[in-house]
Amino acid sequence: MKHVLALSTLYPNPVNPRFGTFVARSLEALAKRGDWRVTLVNPIGLPPLALGRYRPLADLPPVSEEGGITVHRPHFTLIPRIGARRNAGAIARAVLPLVRRIHADQPIDLLDAQFFFPDGPAAAEIAQTMGLPLSIKARGSDISFWGEQDFARRLMLDAARVATGLLAVSRDLAEQMAAMGMEAEKITVHYTGLDRDRFRPFDHPQLRRQLSEELGFPMPDNAPLLACVGALIERKGQGIAIAALRDIPGARLVLVGKGEDETRLRALAVSEGMADRVFFAGSIDHDLMPLILSAADVMVLPTISEGLANAWVEALACGTPVVTTDVGGARELITGDTAGRLVERNAGAVAAAINAILAKPPAREAVAALTENFSWDANAAALATHFERLVT
């Protein structure tokens, strides 16, 4: 059994159980196969004084067994808001002694960075020191956002040169990476996975009523229901979805996620006269997500950038068409009207697309069939194949 050590700054923990669940599901599926031993290093950034929201993170156990994976959580010094330039180096310095100990106990065949920044440059420094092959995965904003920052771009391009192989979550993202100056022949497209038992159409006649009672938000059967899944940050475009409600008679909007933009979005819902039609669900139990998506008529995400959003795939798997912008891998999923619409990033275009779907909704079974090739087993098999190429 070969041994991969994966580095991921984004990974679920008892304090933030929804933080990077897609990374955990992918690596758990790989470990379940039995041909790769998986060790996960999840560096926890803490300021010099770990107070407030950082205190619970400081108290996380340094090592645990989770989903068939040994998870290590070493600390590195984080300077909130202004420390991005030093994070990759700080992570490498904090993690390298741990990697040496793990390697001495169970030799590592491959290092894997689950995000391009800051994980990629940190892993590249460790790989060079240890003389190990390296894979780095790009997921979206690590390229579209950090790639616009000169210091991060330089670090990522240096890391890409060190890497033995690279992964991208969509063809569009692979093209962006090549345009940045990364070697195209190193890049493999690796689509996300999907829990097919959980994300499927639920057609219970009382579904909306049950959700209304559980969430405390009216979801009448005779009113359009829209779901927007994503962190409450400006680039995701929840504000555009709220403004679009003006032109979608009677529609309700459920926002699933948490983030720094919540206060502004709540004020916007009030100023638009839509406060009684917008529900802030926050972070919800993962078992509730497919019920909300199945109850919704449309999943809307007017995002400014993505790699290939898990929320798109999960909505389609529940039989719910998607209205989103023509960014990232959206065209690789939204290939026709059955899947939804690709629109300009403004309230009028979003409302028009939603109204078009409401006027002629596609069959849920046909929408769900579009994701038949997505599963965590398929994701793990492709990942294992990629890793094998890098160590043989």
What does 80-132 look like in DSSP terms, one character per residue? TTT-HHHHHHHHHHHHHHHHHHHHHHS---EEEESSTTTHHHHHHHHHHHHT-
Residues 38 and 186 in one domain: yes
8 in the same domain as 143: yes
Give the integer Cα–Cα distance in Å for 3 and 21.
Answer: 22
Task: Say which residues have a Cβ less than 8 Å from residue 221's Cβ, sequence separation at least 6.
Answer: 208, 209
Q: Supply the pLDDT for residue 191.
A: 96
pLDDT tens digits in sequence order for the chain, 392 residues long: 999 999 999 999 999 888 899 999 999 999 999 999 999 999 999 999 888 889 999 999 999 999 999 999 999 999 887 889 999 999 999 999 999 999 999 999 999 999 999 999 999 999 999 999 999 999 998 998 999 999 999 999 999 999 999 999 999 999 999 999 999 999 999 999 999 999 999 988 899 999 999 999 999 989 999 999 999 999 999 999 999 999 999 999 999 999 999 999 999 999 999 999 999 999 888 889 999 999 999 999 999 999 999 999 999 999 999 999 999 999 999 999 999 999 999 999 999 999 999 999 999 999 999 999 999 999 999 999 999 999 98
What's the order of all strands across the beta sheet hosting 110-113? 63-66, 69-72, 36-41, 2-7, 110-113, 134-138, 165-168, 187-189
Bridge partners, residue 76, by sequence: 45
Residues 182, 117: contact at Cβ < 8 Å? no
Q: What pLDDT does 392 receive?
A: 83
Q: State how many domains the chain has.
A: 2
Residues 214 and 162 in one domain: no
CB-based contact 40:67 (threshold 8 Å): no
In a domain, 198, yes or no: no
In a domain, 144, yes or no: yes
Predicted local distance difference test score (pLDDT) of residue 316: 98
Domain that holds residue 22: 2-193+375-391
User: What's the CATH number where 130 sits?
Assistant: 3.40.50.2000
Domain check: are 187 and 228 in the same one? no
DSSP bridge partners of 343:
325
The two three-digit tokens of residue 155, written as one number: 């670090």
Tokens of 32: 């379940």
d(CA 164, CA 212): 50
**Using CA atoms, how far apart are residues 202 and 210, in angstroms rounded to an integer?**
13
pLDDT of residue 203: 82
Cβ within 8 Å of residue 209, ≥6 positions away: 219, 221
Task: Please check whether residues 9 and 123 belong to one and the same domain.
Answer: yes
Question: What are the two backbone dihedrals, phi and then psi, of residue 134, each rounded to the nearest 5 degrees?
Answer: -140, 135
